[in-house]
Amino acid sequence: MSLNLFEEKEHYQTTSNDFKPYQTSFCETKIGNFVTLQHIMFQNAQKYSELIKEKAKKFGFQDCGISKAGFLEEDAKPLENFLKNGFHGEMKYMENHFDKRLDPSLLVPHAKSVISLSYNYFPKEEISTLDNFKISKYAYGEDYHEVIKEILREMVAELQEEIGDFHCRIFTDSAPVLERSWARKSGIGWVGKNANLITKKSGSFYFLAEIICDLDLQYDLPTTDHCGTCTKCIEACPTDAIVSEKIVDGSKCISYATIELKNEIPSDFSKKMEDWMFGCDICQDVCPWNRFSLPHNQPKFQPNAYLKNFRKENWKELTQEIFSEIFKKSPVKRTKFAGLKRNIEFLGFEVIPPKK
C-alpha cells in the first residue's frame, strides 16, 4: 500500500508544471495522507516492537532483538568457506538450502522482520563430574526444541490477540536459519572466538530462537565485540576444533563426535574427549564472560535423579530400557541408545588430564 502512495508522489513531482488548482489540492491531500500513513506505520513499528519485547520478557526469554529480514551479506563468505572446507563433516543437511540459510524471506514468504530471542539454560548446580562422564549443560533436562517451541507458540498467540493477525514462523535450531548471525545483527551479543554468541551480562549458556514475521518493526543495532586479547577457548579446546577466531571445524568438535556423528568416532579423538559423553562445554566453561551466567528458572531443564546419581560404573551398564526411561524427553534421544553406548565405550575408563 505504501508503494502506491509513493508512486502518486512521483507523479505529482513530474507533472507539477501544468496542474489545475483542483488537481493540486488532490495531490496535496495524497501527500498529506502519505506522510500520515508513514507516521502511523512508524508508530506501529515502535509500538509492536515494544510489545514484542515485553512479551519476550513475560515468557521468560533472556533477551530479544529485532532485525530487518534480508540477505545476510557478511555471513555468506564464512558459510561458503565452512562448507568448502568440509567443517560440517557428515552433517549433510548443512549443504542444503544455502540461499535460504542466508535469506529468510526465501524461507518465510513476505518476511519483513527477524525477532531473535535467547533462552537461558545455565543450571543452578552442575552434575558432579567426580567418577562420572560429562553431559553438556544444555542437555540436563527436557529437549529445548519442544520446550521453547511451546513457549513461542503461546507468545505468538498472545501477540496476535493484541496486534491482530500477522503471518509468522517460529524456529529454534529447527531450520536453515543462521541463528547466531541474526542474534548478532539484532544486538543480543557478539560472536566470540569460540563461535558462540556471548552477552556481556549473561555469558553464552543460552539457546537461540526466532520469530520470522511479516510485520514492519523497529530494528536494533549490533553490539561490540568484547573478546579482546583473550584466547582461553582456543587454548582449552582439546581437539583444536577452533581453527581460527570465530571458526569451528565442526568435524573436529566433541559435540559433533558425540551427538551428530552416526558412524564410529575417529581415532583422532582418542584421549582428547576429557570424559564428555554427550556434547562439550569446555570452550564456554573457560570463557570469562560466563562468570556472569545466572541460573535459569525453567523447571523442565532440571536434571532427573538418574542423571544426578549415576556414576561411570552405572553408565557402563546402561541398557536400552534405562536409556529410554532417563532420556524420554531429553535431547540425548538424538544419539539413540546405540550412540550413547558408542560414546561411553569410546571413553572407556581412562582418566585423561585436561589440556593445560
Q: Which residues form the catalytic set?
A: 173
Is there a contact between 209 and 148 (Cβ–Cβ < 8 Å)? yes
C-alpha 115/C-alpha 317 separation (Å) is 45
Least distance (Å) between residue 141 CB and ligand B12: 14
Interface residue with ligand B12, options 111, 152, 195, 332 (CB under 6 A): 195
* Residue in 192, 303, 331, 339 binding ligand SF4, rule: CB under 6 A: 192
Binding mask 100-139 for ligand B12 (x = CB under 6 A): ------------------------------------x-x-
User: Using the rule CB under 6 A, which residue among 69, 168, 241, 347 binds ligand SF4?
Assistant: 241
**Cα 299 from Cα 315, distance rounded (Å):** 25
Q: At which residue does the C-alpha cell 563426535 appear?
A: 257
With contact defined as beta carbons under 8 Å apart, do 85 and 244 qualify? no
139 touches ligand SF4 (CB under 6 A): no
Report d(CA 137, CA 281) in Å as an integer: 7
Which does residue 184 bind out of ligand SF4, ligand B12, none, counting CB within 5 to 8 angstroms by kind? ligand B12
Q: How far is the CB of 168 from ligand B12 (least distance, A)?
A: 17
CA-CA distance, 48 to 70, in Å (whole number)?
Answer: 20
- Main-chain dihedrals φ then ψ at residue 230, nearest 5 degrees: -60, 140
Q: Is there binding between residue 82 and ligand B12 (CB under 6 A)?
A: yes
What is the x/- site pattern for ligand B12, positions 238-257, by CB under 6 A?
--------xxx-x--x-xx-
Q: Count the Cβ atoms, other than its own, within 10 Å of residue 130.
A: 7
The yes or no reply on residue 172 touching ligand B12 (CB under 6 A) is yes
**Apex 278 CA angle, 275 and 284, nearest 5:** 80
Q: How far apart are CA 82 and CA 180, in angstroms?
A: 15
x/- mask, ligand B12, residues 207-226, rule CB under 6 A, reads xx------------------
Q: Which residues bind ligand SF4 (CB under 6 A)?
A: 192-194, 198, 227, 230-233, 237, 239, 241-242, 248, 253-255, 280, 282-283, 286-289
